[in-house]
A = this chain, B = another copy of it.
Amino acid sequence: MNTKEKLKRYHDWLFKCSAYQMALNIIDIDKQTVAPSAGAAYRDERSAYLAGELFSLETDEEIVDLLKNLKDDPEVEADDRRAIELYYKKALDTVCIPKEEFVAFKKLCDESFDAWILAKSKADYSIFEPYLKRVIESQKKLYGYRSSDKSIYNQMLDDFEPGMDEEKYDAFFNALKERLVPLIGKVTNAKQIREDFLHQKFPIEDQKKFMDELLKYLHFDSSWGYQNESEHPFTSWTCENDCRTTTKYIESNVTSAILSTVHEVGHAYYEHNINPKYDGMILSEGVSSGMHESQSRLCENYLGRTLAFWKYNYTKLQSYFPKQLGDISLEDFYKAINISKPSFVRTEADELTYPLHVLIRYEIEKGLFNGTISTEGLDKTWNAKYKEYLGIDVPNDKLGILQDVHWSDGSFGYFPTYAMGTAFAAQYVHAMKKELDVDSLLENNKFNEVMDWLKKNIHTYGFRYEAPELMKMVTGEEFNVNYFLDYIEEKYTKLYQL
């Protein structure tokens, strides 16, 4: 075969993989949003089979050889070569796993998700514990097949954020703690901000009406995007023109669904804006989890929590909740949605305490994989860490260990990327503000123009470059955690008049 023939083979293979991947994504979206629970066992068994078919495609010996060969072929153009290198790396990590174990793990993850849903609805960790235990054991076994000299948890960290490991994350979290902990202390001792009005009864029906307006403001166009509801908000997609997000409404918390929507729409824009020539291949995925979270957290915090954002949207929100918010000024509303206070739920946490929520998960994950923490009694370990870091007593497992979906499907190593992404975002915003008057755009219903900047500078590249490379391209510098720390210090100093 000459290069052209080889590339034809490669592109045929890519197309087949993308078909299975699409089916699995749609089945998963369906599962997490609307699929009737009693049919789960039937569906889970079959989607595991289909995942196995994709596994067979991805680990086909001839294909692995082809990838190995093509990645060093000088006739292959740069985009393809980059994708081929990534596929080859992925293949090496996968080909070592026995197929039946891979399929069994996929099935276990689906069952574990079902158990998590049930456990959360009953606020009972003991329902989920046996599944979590098996998921961890299986992950240890599957990662054990790789020929790597890194620890299993370091491999996991690297999978979600290439180049990262415990040592680097420890340094990162230490840098955060060093400046955040004293700041949190100051805020605790400062004059407190009123936010009781955010926790009145906000009928979900009216929240949904406001959401329709908000989605318009976000230019989240129904031709390429769709929002549903799920127990844990997420974003998924099949191609640039098919990006799905979900949200979750809470009657006693008017901003939860709003900010989670802005967050998820941030993920959706990233996928939507990737160069369509990458559709169906690995380059159409965001660079890394940290990069993905940088875009969602950027939207949630650096746009969605600003005064400018609410200058446009607040009167609309008031119009749906005149009794609850009619007497509350924009200024007071803005302050309230930024109040910093230790809380139970990560996805609803303020920007200042948020990294501590992530740190707790990171420490638990490290312990689960180095053997110092066990799934048995993990609810108590969780609660103890919340007491230690945030000084609060977790009242039940639903607000505690069962709040997040990630561990149910074995996504260990993902959590740290939330904090990392949040810090990436600060540096990107700093660069963006040199070129754009972001506040003016937000105030004037031009959210899309902010997205256009992100598209041009970040999104369009998809997975074409690694995260550090992209950071340098966009901001002219290496990643520097101080952009985040300066931002947060300035914001909270001003807010609490410290």
A residues whose Cβ falls under 8 Å from a Cβ of B? 15-16, 18-20, 22-23, 26-27, 29-30, 34-39, 42-43, 46-47, 49-50, 205, 222-226, 228, 238-244, 279-280
Whether the pair B228, A39 counts as a contact (CB closer than 8 A) is: no
- Closest B residue to A243 by beta carbon equals B36
Q: How far is the CA of A46 from the CA of B280 in the complex (A)?
A: 10
Residues of B within 8 A of A30 (CB): 26, 29-30
Checking B22, B50, B226 against A43 with a beta-carbon cut-off of 8 angstroms, the contacting residue is B22
Given contacts A23-B27, A26-B30, A30-B29, contact A242 B46 (CB under 8 A): no
- Closest B residue to A222 by beta carbon equals B36
Whether the pair A224, B23 counts as a contact (CB closer than 8 A) is: no
Residues of B within 8 A of A15 (CB): 46, 49
Residues of B within 8 A of A47 (CB): 19, 22-23
Given contacts A26-B26, A26-B30, A42-B280, contact A224 B36 (CB under 8 A): yes
Q: Give min CB distance, A238 to chain B, whole Å.
A: 6
Residues of B within 8 A of A242 (CB): 35-36, 38-39, 42-43
- Closest B residue to A37 by beta carbon equals B223
Whether the pair A226, B22 counts as a contact (CB closer than 8 A) is: no
- Closest B residue to A223 by beta carbon equals B38
Whether the pair A19, B50 counts as a contact (CB closer than 8 A) is: yes
Residues of B within 8 A of A37 (CB): 223
Whether the pair B19, A46 counts as a contact (CB closer than 8 A) is: yes
Q: List 5 A-B contacts (CB under 8 A).
A: A22-B27, A22-B46, A23-B46, A34-B226, A42-B241
Whether the pair A226, B36 counts as a contact (CB closer than 8 A) is: yes
Residues of B within 8 A of A23 (CB): 23, 26-27, 46-47, 50
Q: How far is the CA of A439 from the CA of B470 in the complex (A)?
A: 70
Residues of B within 8 A of A224 (CB): 36, 38-39
Residues of B within 8 A of A225 (CB): 36
Q: How far is the CA of A49 from the CA of B29 in the complex (A)?
A: 20
